[in-house]
Structure 1
Amino acid sequence: MAAQPPSYKTLASLSRMNLLYQLQSRGTMTVNDLAEAAGLHPNTAREHLDRLINDGFVTCAPEPRDSKGRPKMLYSAAGGVSTELGSIRARKIEAAQERAEQLRRLLLLPAGQPALAGCTGPAARRQLDALDDHLDQAGFDASVAANGEQVNLHDCPYSEMIKDHPEVCGVHYRLIQGVLEQADGPLRAVGLNLIDAPHLCVIDVAPLPAERESAKSARLDTSNGHFLRSREPR
């Protein structure tokens, strides 16, 4: 029997999926609030949260406070652009890109652009590399549709869990959205279609509108509060 992918081992736990669902739905929470919402003992919740943190699905930070004493730890679903050097999310994205480039060289494939409508360039390729790696690590058999606008997920490895807990589909969809956002590029997941669940689900992928992509290239000058437009190299 083939070894199960690392992320699949983490996400195959209903308790961990429930904790992730609570964080995605409610936002930042303490371990006690999470444990109560998920119906777990706080110590059990901590163990599951540690596993989710180690795989980059959850982040944890101390509660800001001015008074003395040990601050509470606040847990959040990982999301947004991964800019923290050395973070788990940043390392996973970098490793995914390296593996994809190695495979392209091994197969003598051109370092070409992703075949998604309206999207070319290294940023989109980095996003697709990160998404492909995430889906592979999570146990999905995925392929990009011929029209370049959908990612097909075949034979869901979580089908038994989904029978009684359909919200698991939403958790995975938000994870996919998060991967594309964390890799920081023009692509976004814009729809989940359960065509023949659990045998075939389709993720719609599309580029950001030009004006939103342009806004992303702006940076804030904190000295005067004005936005400065980043210039493209000539």
Structure 2
Amino acid sequence: MNNSGMTTGRPAGYSAISNYSRVEILHLVQERSDRTVAELVSATDLHPNTVREHLQRLIDDGYVVSATEHRTTRGRPRVLYSATDGVTACSPVQHRKARAAAQRGDVMRRVLPGDAPKLDTAALHQIDALVEDLVDAGFDPLVDESELTVELTPCAHASSQAEHREVLCSVHLGIMQSVLSSAGGPLSVDGMRSSCDPRECIVQLLHASQRP
């Protein structure tokens, strides 16, 4: 078992998703890409300036990307917002964070004693990026490389935002998959183990060699 063991220089909980309004916006752009500010304002009842501020924060953290609409008719092109997925919607911020996490992980594996890694280098770098992102979001992840599980118990958001658990879980899983894809490698999110206790959360990963 390995715990995070890494620090990023930012306080836990600093992540953009520590604010539920941003979680809600991220959930909307995860559900459907190319959203406009007007659509997000209508869906959230937030002020347009507030939505723009939240979107910028999500962009700064690498969770959302923007693109200018291509118009074939007259009119000012709109800005379209999509959730980063690491494949079709890629964030340079997320790629940069993944590279930095991999470098820190390589240094730690060289200087700290421990068992030989059970995963190949690409998968280890994915885990490095995933752990650092989760730590920034306020979690204390525990990774089991043999079982390919990530334990997030106790969930940092289970009590404060219990009424939004379904949306939160969906958003967190989407972010985790995005981080893994941006880092590049054989691992992907397979799902979350169900539990009657909302504080308990274990995410199952899948190695490419395990896919049918």
TM-score bin (small chain): 0.7 to 0.9
Please tell me whether residue 78 in structure 1 is matched to residue 84 in structure 2. yes
> Within 5 A, what are the aligned runs for 1:102-181?
102-109=107-114, 112-113=116-117, 115=118, 120-145=119-144, 147-166=146-165, 167-181=167-181
Give 2:5's aligned residue: none
Please tell me whether residue 5 in structure 1 is matched to residue 12 in structure 2. yes
What CA deviation, in whole Å up to 9, does each residue of 1:169-195 have, x standing for no partner?
111111111111221211111011243
Give 1:62's aligned residue: 68
Give 1:195's aligned residue: 195
> Distance between the aligned counterparts of 1:173 and 1:77, measured in 2?
12
Do 2:139 and 2:156's aligned partners in 1 also have CA atoms closer than 8 Å?
yes
User: Could you say what the CA RMSD is over the residues aligned between the two structures, in angstroms?
Assistant: 2.5
Distance verdict in 2 for CA 1:29–1:146, change over 3 Å: closer
Do 1:127 and 1:183's aligned partners in 2 also have CA atoms closer than 8 Å?
yes
Report which structure shows greater RCO (CA 8 Å, sep ≥6). 2
Q: CA deviation at 1:160?
A: 2.8
Amino acid at match of 1:81: V
Distance verdict in 2 for CA 1:62–1:6, change over 3 Å: farther
SS at 1:160 equivalent: coil
Distance verdict in 2 for CA 1:74–1:146, change over 3 Å: closer
Q: Which runs of 4+ in 1 moved over 6 A?
A: none
SS at 1:155 equivalent: coil
1 or 2, which has the higher strand percentage? 1
Q: 1:53 aligns with which of 34, 52, 59?
A: 59
Do 2:12 and 2:139's aligned partners in 1 also have CA atoms closer than 8 Å?
no
Distance verdict in 2 for CA 1:76–1:33, change over 3 Å: same
Q: CA deviation at 1:60?
A: 0.5
> Distance between the aligned counterparts of 1:46 and 1:129, measured in 2?
31
SS at 2:201 equivalent: strand
Structure number with bigger Rg: 1
Q: Percent identity?
A: 36
> Distance between the aligned counterparts of 1:56 and 1:21, measured in 2?
14
Q: CA deviation at 1:29?
A: 0.4
Give 2:6's aligned residue: none
Q: Which runs of 5+ in 2 are unaligned?
A: 1-9
Q: CA deviation at 1:28?
A: 2.0
SS at 1:192 equivalent: strand
* TM-score normalised according to structure 1 size: 0.77
> Distance between the aligned counterparts of 2:30 and 2:207, measured in 1?
23
Give 1:229's aligned residue: none
Q: CA deviation at 1:68?
A: 5.7
Amino acid at match of 2:100: A
Q: How many pairs are equivalent? A: 202
Q: Which runs of 5+ in 1 are unaligned?
A: 213-234
